[in-house]
């Protein structure tokens, strides 16, 4: 979900950019083994949620740039909704009222 | 994940991996650079980046698992492993493949016959939309139509996209010899998509033109390249040859026997028929092509409505019979093949049992390997799958080899069929086209499927056996559960039982056939010829033949002697009515056939001409009706009601017996009670002419054909069977016996194959037992047993198993032959000699097969075996 959200920001990114982005935004709280990003990306590629294209970085190195597809957008919305629902439920349970 | 993506990933997997590697590398480099700019040294940064990234190999593997299913990867692995393992034990592999190939080849050959008759459509355009039209009223079944009826059918364009008329086959005199011809409407070739290799097909306006079939062009005109434009005489009228069809072109409505087609030799325009025939207006079969948007049922109901509309009688059903294949793919046609499939399948069963035994023996040797694999973490299912894959590889190789065997077997069958026709069917003219037996893609698919099934049959048990026990036992080399020895014996017993079954069947068939061969019809048919012509032709033919000096007095009979007589319900006063065979014969019938009169007298001319109500009975009939009285003068009553109109029968219902003749058989499997009535010797009642020459048969045939040739063809009847004008009567007997000959031949071949396979199975098992017990044998010999004793021991082993199997096989064989006898009445259900012979053969085979191992055992040197451990 996090990958999809990152990509939904618009510009195509390559693997390192995605990982860096998540790390930065989460203020270094979420630090996963960076390599596990790639199997996840492959999975999403196969499911058609993202599309990948080879391009060149600023330093002229070959990199695969990923972009969100329409199906991916739909999936992201669904997952966000799910997450919101769950976290709301948890919040309600944990709240001191009632 | 769909299959296409799967396939794409599979084929590009190396490239995909390289791409992943590139991405990983980029990521690590960027991370390293980041760390560097944060203050680490280049080498530290690189190390840290790599550490943060994680295990690249396992990540790559994880991705790879996404691209393919594990199942495909592992299967490929299994396949390669199986190939390597089989390569390591070549003798086993060769033996297993050969054994299975025999069984699979037989089944494939049988399937190809099925394919040729039922599955493969004719080589015409869009065969499955072609149908033959017919409808049934209360009174009759209408398969033939007049030309105006055909035209009206052709105009039903909302149902049929086109219709062609075919006068399907008639005997014609082409340049002096008989040939089958067909008269068709001008759109016939267009409808069927028939092409020509020379010239062009028939078109509208072709009146004095004909198209030759490829076979006729090849056989009658020696493939003359300048045949086009040549004028040939058909029934005396000149026709120009305008085309020759391609060899594959087949008329879907030709004569079909089980495995032959009697193809027409030429096609002409149906409108030109009056030129060569001046009698009946043509009655044609109608072949239609149903419009693609309609189903067969819809078209049939439309046809029913149309038929009801134009006939005054009540139409019961309308049928569109498919003309796409020789036999319609209906449950009945499949039923016909089932017995053959079962019988051929039995050989395959023996082969499977053989290979299963081989695999069992091998499995024990590989116990250790399996145990190690399991203890290293392989799941039982995985090991099982791998063992099954080994079996599958054997099956696939065997399947390929089996196809080769099938090809050879089919080639042999085709040759046998050709020579059979040449020998046994001289009464038909023209050479038939044997159904093409082609190993096409259907056979290939069949082989794949059956090979897979067979694998499951023979590989499952040994594989299951191997993976059953705990790892610790396996490594030690022990076996648990059902002792493989017991299983092996069971398989062997099953093999022997099935082999016995096949041998009993073939022995029974052989004996029945030889008994039938000695079938004595009661008269000698050699030298008698029949001339079967239309009623209009008879008087003239009789006139011509009576003038010939080399002929004995002619006889006429409603049914030819060995053709099988019809039956009518008859009775005498006081007894109930039952169907009795009868024939109408002229006075010279009995002398010509040399059938002696035992009582009374024969018909005389005046009785025959005046249709007097007299009768002559056969001895059996006389015995049956008047066992203690004189049959002469008795009255026989005939029940002529409900008599179908096409059966020639006497017109009186009470006949007085005037004579008794010796029994003759009119068919191979019929009774001998016959009643004879007089027939007009001048031919006005029709019938078949019987001729016996005073000279030898070959000369008689030649002179006969010469004498009647022209007249015969002038009066050729439409739609009749393509009989030789002067056909030997004895040929009829051969035709009736032919199926038995064929069945005996096939079952003998199967029996021999089964015996060979079983013998090799016994050999394998006994060899194995001997090799397992060398130590025991060594001890015995050291303790004083002679070589002879040891050999006897081994032979006894073999014999014991064979006896057990034979005992199991006897009830099986009994049940099977009871079934058999129910279907084919001539075969004796329980033939003790056949059983004895079969058992004897099996037991001797068992002893012979054990001979080799016994010798080997007898030659063991005790010292060697005791030292080896």
Residue B744 burial by CB count (10 A; 0-12/13-18/19+): exposed, middle or buried?
A: buried
Q: Is B24 on the interface with A (CB under 8 A)?
A: yes
**B470 has a pLDDT exceeding 60:** no
Instruction: Give the full edge-to-edge strand order of the sheet including B255-256.
Output: B255-256, B260-262, B433-434
Of A16, A39, A42, the CB nearest to B30: A16
Q: Is B51 on the interface with A (CB under 8 A)?
A: no
Nearest to B219 by CA among B432, B436, B437: B432
Of A39, A46, A61, the CB nearest to B62: A39
| Rounded-to-integer distance, Cα B359 and Cα B461, Å | 9
| Cβ atoms within 10 Å of B445's Cβ, excluding its own | 11
**B66 has a pLDDT exceeding 70:** yes
CB B640 within 8 A of CB B547: no
ipTM of the prediction greater than 0.95, yes or no? no
**B171 has a pLDDT exceeding 80:** no
| Rounded-to-integer distance, Cα B60 and Cα A42, Å | 10
Q: Is A39 on the interface with B (CB under 8 A)?
A: yes
pLDDT score for B734: 74
**A14 to chain B: which residues are within 8 Å by CB?**
23, 26
**Averaged pLDDT score across all residues of chain B:** 81
| Distance (Å) from the alpha carbon of B2 to chain A's nearest alpha carbon | 10
pLDDT score for A31: 64
Interface A:B, Cβ pairs < 8 A: 55
Task: Specify the higher pLDDT residue, B842 or B569.
Answer: B842
**B20 to chain A: which residues are within 8 Å by CB?**
38, 42
Q: Which two tokens stand for residue B149?
A: 């009826």
Predicted confidence band of residue B83 (pLDDT cuts 50, 70, 90): very high
| Rounded-to-integer distance, Cα B675 and Cα B668, Å | 18
| Distance (Å) from the alpha carbon of B458 to chain A's nearest alpha carbon | 40
| Distance (Å) from the alpha carbon of B263 to chain A's nearest alpha carbon | 59
Q: Is B55 on the interface with A (CB under 8 A)?
A: yes
| Rounded-to-integer distance, Cα B624 and Cα B575, Å | 11
Q: Which two tokens stand for residue B154?
A: 């052709």
| Distance (Å) from the alpha carbon of B54 to chain A's nearest alpha carbon | 5
Angle, vertex CA B279, rays to CA B273 and CA B281, nearest 5: 60
Of A33, A36, A38, the CB nearest to B23: A38
% of chain B at pLDDT higher than 90: 2
| Distance (Å) from the alpha carbon of B18 to chain A's nearest alpha carbon | 13
pLDDT score for B429: 59
pLDDT score for A28: 67
Q: What are phi and psi of B179, to 5 degrees?
A: -150, 145
Query: In angstroms, how far is the first alpha carbon of chain B from the final one?
Result: 57
Supply the pTM of this predicted model: 0.72
The predicted-structure confidence for B224-283, as pLDDT tens digits, reads as follows 888 888 888 887 788 888 888 888 887 777 666 667 777 788 888 888 877 777 666 777
**B19 to chain A: which residues are within 8 Å by CB?**
64
CB B420 within 8 A of CB B258: no
**A57 to chain B: which residues are within 8 Å by CB?**
26
pLDDT score for B346: 87
Residue A30 burial by CB count (10 A; 0-12/13-18/19+): exposed, middle or buried?
A: exposed
State whether residue B328 is helix, strand or coil.
coil
**B59 has a pLDDT exceeding 60:** yes
Going B579 to B580 to B583 to B584, the CA torsion angle's sign is negative
| Cβ atoms within 10 Å of B664's Cβ, excluding its own | 21
pLDDT score for A13: 83
The predicted-structure confidence for B740-798, as pLDDT tens digits, reads as follows 788 888 888 888 888 888 888 888 888 888 877 888 888 888 888 888 888 888 888 88
Q: Is A16 on the interface with B (CB under 8 A)?
A: yes
Chain A residue with CA closest to B16: the answer is A42
Residue B157 burial by CB count (10 A; 0-12/13-18/19+): exposed, middle or buried?
A: exposed
**B471 has a pLDDT exceeding 60:** no
Chain B residue with CA closest to A40: the answer is B63
Q: Is A40 on the interface with B (CB under 8 A)?
A: no
Predicted confidence band of residue B469 (pLDDT cuts 50, 70, 90): low
The predicted-structure confidence for B603-618, as pLDDT tens digits, reads as follows 888 877 777 788 888 8
| Rounded-to-integer distance, Cα B800 and Cα B493, Å | 10
CB B849 within 8 A of CB B764: no
Chain B residue with CA closest to A63: the answer is B23
**A42 to chain B: which residues are within 8 Å by CB?**
20, 63, 66-67
pLDDT score for B408: 92
Contact across the interface for B19 and A64, Cβ inside 8 Å = yes
The predicted-structure confidence for B551-591, as pLDDT tens digits, reads as follows 888 888 888 888 778 877 888 877 788 888 888 888 888 88
What number is the average pLDDT over the span B538-547? 83
pLDDT score for B716: 60
Contact across the interface for B52 and A33, Cβ inside 8 Å = yes
Nearest to A23 by CA among B30, B794, B408, B118: B30
| Distance (Å) from the alpha carbon of B56 to chain A's nearest alpha carbon | 7
pLDDT score for B714: 64
| Distance (Å) from the alpha carbon of B323 to chain A's nearest alpha carbon | 50
| Cβ atoms within 10 Å of B197's Cβ, excluding its own | 12
Chain A residue with CA closest to B62: the answer is A39
Predicted confidence band of residue B428 (pLDDT cuts 50, 70, 90): low
pLDDT score for B84: 92
Contact across the interface for A61 and B66, Cβ inside 8 Å = no
pLDDT score for B404: 92
What number is the average pLDDT over the span A69-89? 88
Of A15, A46, A64, the CB nearest to B1: A46
Contact across the interface for A46 and B5, Cβ inside 8 Å = yes
């Amino acid at each position: 979900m996090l990958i999809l959200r990152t990509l939904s920001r618009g510009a195509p990114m390559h693997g390192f950019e995605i990982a860096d982005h998540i790390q930065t935004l989460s203020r270094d709280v979420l630090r996963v083994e960076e390599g596990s990003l790639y199997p996840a990306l492959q999975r999403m590629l196969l499911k058609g949620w993202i599309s990948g294209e080879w391009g060149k970085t600023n330093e002229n190195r070959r990199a695969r740039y990923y972009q969100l597809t329409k199906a991916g957008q739909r999936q992201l919305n669904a997952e966000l909704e799910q997450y919101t629902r769950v976290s709301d439920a948890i919040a309600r349970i944990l709240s001191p009222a009632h | 994940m769909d299959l296409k993506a799967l396939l794409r990933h599979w084929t590009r997997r190396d490239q995909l991996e390289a791409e992943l590697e590139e991405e990983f590398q980029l990521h690590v480099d960027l991370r390293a650079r980041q760390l560097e700019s944060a203050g680490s040294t280049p080498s530290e940064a690189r190390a840290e980046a790599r550490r943060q990234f994680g295990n690249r190999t396992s990540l790559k593997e994880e991705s790879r698992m996404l691209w393919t299913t594990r199942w495909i990867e592992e299967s490929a692995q299994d396949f390669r492993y199986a190939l390597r393992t089989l390569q390591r034990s070549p003798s086993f592999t060769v033996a297993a493949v050969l054994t299975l190939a025999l069984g699979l080849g037989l089944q494939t050959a049988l399937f190809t016959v099925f394919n040729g008759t039922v599955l493969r459509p004719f080589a015409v355009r869009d065969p499955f939309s072609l149908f033959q039209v017919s409808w049934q009223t209360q009174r009759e079944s209408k398969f033939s139509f007049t030309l105006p009826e055909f035209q009206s059918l052709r105009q039903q364009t909302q149902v049929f996209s086109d219709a062609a008329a075919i006068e399907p086959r008639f005997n014609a005199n082409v340049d002096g010899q008989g040939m089958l011809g067909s008269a068709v409407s001008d759109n016939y070739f267009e409808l069927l998509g028939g092409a020509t290799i020379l010239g062009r097909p028939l078109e509208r306006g072709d009146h004095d033109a004909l198209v030759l079939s490829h076979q006729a062009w090849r056989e009658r005109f020696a493939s003359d390249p300048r045949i086009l434009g040549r004028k040939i005489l058909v029934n005396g009228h000149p026709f120009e040859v305008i085309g020759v069809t391609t060899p594959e072109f087949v008329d879907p409505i030709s004569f079909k026997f089980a495995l032959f087609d009697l193809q027409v030799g030429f096609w002409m325009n149906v409108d030109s028929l009056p030129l060569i025939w001046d009698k009946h207006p043509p009655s044609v079969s109608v072949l239609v092509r149903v419009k693609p948007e309609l189903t067969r049922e819809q078209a049939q109901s439309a046809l029913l409505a149309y038929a009801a509309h134009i006939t005054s009688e009540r139409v019961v059903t309308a049928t569109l019979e498919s003309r796409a294949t020789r036999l319609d793919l209906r449950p009945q046609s499949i039923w016909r093949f089932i017995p053959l499939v079962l019988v051929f399948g039995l050989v395959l069963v023996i082969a499977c049992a053989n290979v299963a035994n081989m695999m069992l023996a091998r499995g024990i040797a590989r116990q250790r390997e399996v145990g190690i694999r399991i203890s290293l973490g392989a799941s039982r299912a995985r090991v099982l799958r791998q063992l099954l894959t080994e079996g599958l590889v054997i099956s696939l190789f065997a399947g390929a080899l089996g196809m080769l065997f099938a090809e050879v077997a089919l080639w042999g069958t085709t040759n046998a069929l050709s020579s059979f026709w040449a020998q046994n069917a001289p009464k038909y003219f023209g050479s038939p086209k044997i159904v093409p037996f082609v190993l096409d893609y259907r056979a290939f698919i069949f082989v794949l499927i059956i090979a897979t099934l067979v694998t499951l049959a023979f590989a499952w048990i040994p594989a299951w056996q191997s993976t059953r026990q705990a790892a610790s036992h396996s490594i030690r080399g022990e076996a648990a559960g059902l002792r493989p020895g017991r299983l092996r014996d069971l398989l062997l017993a099953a093999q022997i039982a099935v082999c016995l079954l096949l041998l009993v069947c073939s022995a029974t068939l052989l004996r029945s056939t030889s008994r039938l061969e000695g079938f004595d019809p009661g008269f000698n048919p050699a030298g008698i010829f029949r001339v079967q012509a239309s009623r209009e032709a008879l008087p003239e033919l009789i006139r011509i033949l009576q003038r010939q000096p080399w002929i004995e007095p002619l006889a006429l009979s409603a049914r030819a002697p060995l053709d099988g007589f019809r039956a009518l319900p008859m009775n005498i006063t006081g007894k109930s009515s039952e169907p009795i065979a009868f024939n109408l014969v002229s006075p010279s019938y009995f002398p010509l056939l040399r059938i002696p009169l035992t009582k009374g007298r024969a018909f005389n001319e005046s009785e025959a001409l005046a249709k007097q109500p007299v009768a002559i009975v056969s001895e059996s009939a006389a015995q049956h009706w008047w066992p203690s009285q004189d049959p002469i003068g008795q009255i026989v009553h005939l029940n002529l009601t409900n008599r179908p109109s096409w059966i020639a029968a006497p017109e009186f219902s009470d006949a007085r017996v005037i004579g008794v003749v010796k029994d003759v058989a009119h068919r191979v499997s019929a009774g001998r009670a016959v009643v004879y009535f007089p027939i007009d010797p001048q031919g006005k009642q029709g019938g078949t002419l019987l001729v016996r020459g005073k000279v030898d048969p070959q000369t008689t045939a030649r002179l006969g054909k010469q004498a009647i040739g022209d007249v015969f063809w002038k009066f050729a009847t439409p739609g009749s069977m393509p009989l030789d004008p002067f056909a030997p009567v004895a040929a009829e007997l051969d035709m009736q016996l032919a199926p038995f000959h064929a069945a005996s031949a096939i079952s003998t071949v199967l029996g021999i194959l089964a015996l060979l396979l079983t013998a090799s199975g016994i050999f394998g098992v006994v060899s194995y037992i001997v090799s397992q017990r060398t130590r025991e044998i060594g001890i015995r010999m050291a303790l004083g047993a002679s070589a002879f004793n040891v050999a006897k021991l081994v032979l006894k082993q073999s014999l014991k198993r064979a006896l057990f199997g034979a005992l199991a096989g006897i009830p099986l064989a009994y049940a099977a032959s009871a079934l058999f006898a129910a279907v084919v009445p001539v075969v004796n259900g329980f033939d003790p000699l056949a059983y004895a012979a079969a058992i004897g053969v099996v037991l001797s085979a068992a002893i012979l097969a054990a001979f080799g191992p016994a010798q080997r055992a007898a030659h063991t040197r005790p010292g060697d075996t005791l030292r080896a451990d």
